[in-house]
């Protein structure tokens, strides 16, 4: 885990600047000098990204970002934001207030060790290197197979969270748990990260992995008609984008049977040209973080007319013909409105869709407080949906 968390991914269409040089300058002693523990890292990133980004990537003039911020914070304030939080989630949330992060802190977070894999008898992750997109480096994937001797198993192609720029600290135990609980092979993609790699680099990495699992179905012991895509937060973004991309390139015959979208970021305009209501996005991931995360991925200001439509699921003209979907999100999550809207569009387009909105829950609540009743119900819901899709669904 430590090796790939520490790695700075290969640049792609990225102009070296002060921030890129800062990433290369960090020494191991400097990287750990801020006394961040792995628990701090796990809580504050919670497998989905950084809370309270304050990273000046230089992607848009400061004045423009300030103007966007003022537009997104005009809704009436709520006196006590904590009053809306599920009481069972509240004590742990209050222990970890939001923190504004500098670029140097983001670099340090990348280099902190993640949680080690679960010990046997949990299925063990196997590292593979597969051909990348044309002209790009190989793509590293992790394969977790709960039953290596079985044939015809379903497969989840998983994209990790991390705000487009990082890797969730609980990556390995998470994919081991999915493989065990849903009895499927999990292939998780170590796609290139922003801002070193801008759109469409990560999408092309994920698509290369999708083509690879289809082509190597016999070797992996899987049924290529039962391949789902999924991920949490930024990983959900990547999964939704991959489903759209695969649909639009259907001549290559890489069908997907299901998309599992766990509190996905689906609209770069949230928190910029689409102001966020005051009741949402106050914990773990806010409007400022969203603007900067999307901007780092896109290479242009989030919410602007310069954003390529194909890069953002909410901007795509049609969602017809996409795979069935499960979408889950907390009612206090910054992404709640865009996730509900995407579910509405899928339903209207005739795509079988399940939407779960959890009262009193914020972004990443299930990872922060996994033993809470709301977290357990949430996890049970998406796992049940994935198992059902594997049992009844076939990509055509």
Dump pLDDT digits (tens) for 126-158.
999 999 999 999 999 999 999 999 999 999 999
Tell me what pLDDT residue 19 has. Answer: 36
Long-range contacts of 334-337 (CB under 8 A, 24+ apart): 334/270, 334/271, 334/276, 334/280, 334/281, 334/285, 334/286, 334/287, 334/290, 334/363, 335/263, 335/264, 335/265, 335/266, 335/270, 335/285, 335/363, 336/280, 337/270, 337/277, 337/280
Per residue in 356-369, pLDDT (tens digit) is 999 999 999 999 99
User: What's the mean per-residue pLDDT of the chain?
Assistant: 83
Q: Which of 233, 273, 296, 375 is catalytic?
A: 233
How is residue 259 written in tokens?
């998309």
* Backbone phi and psi for residue 154, each to the nearest 5 degrees, phi listed first: -75, 165
Residue 272 banded pLDDT, cuts 50, 70, 90: very high
Round to whole Å and give the CA distance between 128 and 143: 7
Q: Minimal CA–CA distance to 340: which of 260, 266, 247, 241?
A: 266
3-state secondary structure of 355: strand
384 labelled catalytic? no
Q: Quote the pLDDT of residue 105.
A: 66
Checking if the pLDDT of 269 tops 60, the result is: yes
* Mean pLDDT on 92-119: 77
Q: Decide: 229 and 239 in contact? Cβ < 8 Å.
A: yes
**Which phi and psi (to 5°) does residue 143 adopt?**
-110, 125
Q: Which residue has the tokens 């969203």?
A: 290
d(CA 391, CA 250): 24
More confident residue, 217 or 162: 217
Residue 160 is encoded by which pair of tokens?
């990790």
pTM, two decimal places: 0.83
Q: Which of 333, 339, 366, 375 is catalytic?
A: 333
126 to 176, 272, 351: CA distances (angstroms): 11, 41, 34
| pLDDT over 90 percentage in the chain | 67
Contact 173, 142 (CB under 8 A): no
Of the given ranges (3-7, 101-105, 270-274, 364-368), which has the lowest mean pLDDT?
A: 3-7
pLDDT of residue 21: 32
Alpha-carbon dihedral sign for residues 144, 146, 147, 151: negative
How would DSSP label each residue in 108-128?
A: HHHHS--PPPPPTTSPPPEEE
The residues pairing with 270 across neighbouring beta strands, listed in sequence order, are 274
As a whole number, mean pLDDT of residues 270-278 equals 92
Q: b/e for 203-242, b at 16 or more Cβ within 10 A?
A: bbbbbbbbbbbbebbeebbbbbebbbbbbbbbbbbbbbbb
Is 233 assigned a catalytic role? Answer: yes
pLDDT on residue 292 = 85
* pLDDT over threshold 80, residue 372: yes
**Which residues on adjacent β-strands are paired with residue 143?**
126, 187
Residue 363 is among the residues annotated as catalytic for this protein: yes
* Catalytic position from the list 9, 214, 245, 363: 363
What tens digit of pLDDT does each residue of 179-202 get?
999 999 999 999 999 999 999 999
């Amino acid at each position: 885990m430590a090796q790939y968390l520490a790695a700075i991914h290969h640049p792609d269409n990225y102009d070296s600047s002060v921030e890129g040089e800062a990433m290369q300058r960090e020494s191991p002693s400097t990287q750990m000098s801020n006394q961040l523990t792995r628990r701090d890292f796990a809580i504050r990133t919670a497998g989905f990204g950084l809370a309270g980004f304050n990273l000046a990537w230089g992607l848009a003039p400061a004045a423009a970002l300030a103007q966007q911020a003022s537009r997104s914070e005009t809704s009436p304030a709520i006196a006590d934001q904590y009053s809306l939080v599920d009481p069972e989630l509240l004590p742990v949330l209050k222990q970890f207030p939001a923190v504004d992060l500098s670029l140097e802190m983001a670099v340090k977070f990348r280099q902190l060790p993640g949680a080690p894999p679960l010990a046997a008898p949990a299925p063990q992750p196997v590292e593979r290197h597969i051909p990348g997109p044309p002209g790009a480096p190989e793509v590293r994937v992790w394969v977790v197979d709960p039953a290596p001797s079985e044939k015809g198993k379903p497969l989840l192609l998983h994209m990790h969270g991390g705000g487009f720029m990082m890797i969730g600290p609980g990556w390995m135990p998470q994919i081991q748990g999915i493989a065990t609980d849903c009895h499927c092979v999990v292939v998780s993609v170590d796609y290139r990260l922003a801002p070193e790699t801008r759109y469409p680099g990560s999408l092309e990495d994920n698509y290369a992995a999708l083509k690879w699992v289809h082509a190597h179905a016999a070797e992996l012991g899987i049924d290529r008609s039962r391949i789902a895509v999924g991920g949490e937060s930024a990983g959900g973004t990547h999964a939704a984008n991959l489903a759209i991309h695969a649909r639009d390139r259907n001549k290559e015959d890489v069908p997907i049977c299901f998309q599992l979208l766990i509190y996905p970021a689906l609209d770069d305009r949230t928190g910029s040209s689409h102001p966020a209501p005051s009741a949402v996005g106050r914990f773990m991931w806010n409007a400022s973080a969203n603007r900067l995360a999307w901007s780092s991925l896109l290479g242009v200001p989030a919410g602007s007319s310069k954003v390529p439509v194909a890069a953002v699921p909410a901007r795509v003209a049609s969602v017809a013909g996409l795979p069935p979907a499960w979408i889950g999100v907390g009612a206090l999550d910054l992404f709640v409105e865009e996730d509900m809207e995407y579910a509405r569009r899928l339903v209207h387009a005739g795509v079988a869709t399940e939407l779960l909105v959890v009262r009193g829950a914020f972004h990443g609540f299930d990872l922060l407080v996994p033993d809470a009743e709301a977290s357990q119900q949430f996890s049970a819901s998406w796992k049940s949906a994935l198992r059902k899709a594997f049992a009844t669904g076939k990509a055509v």
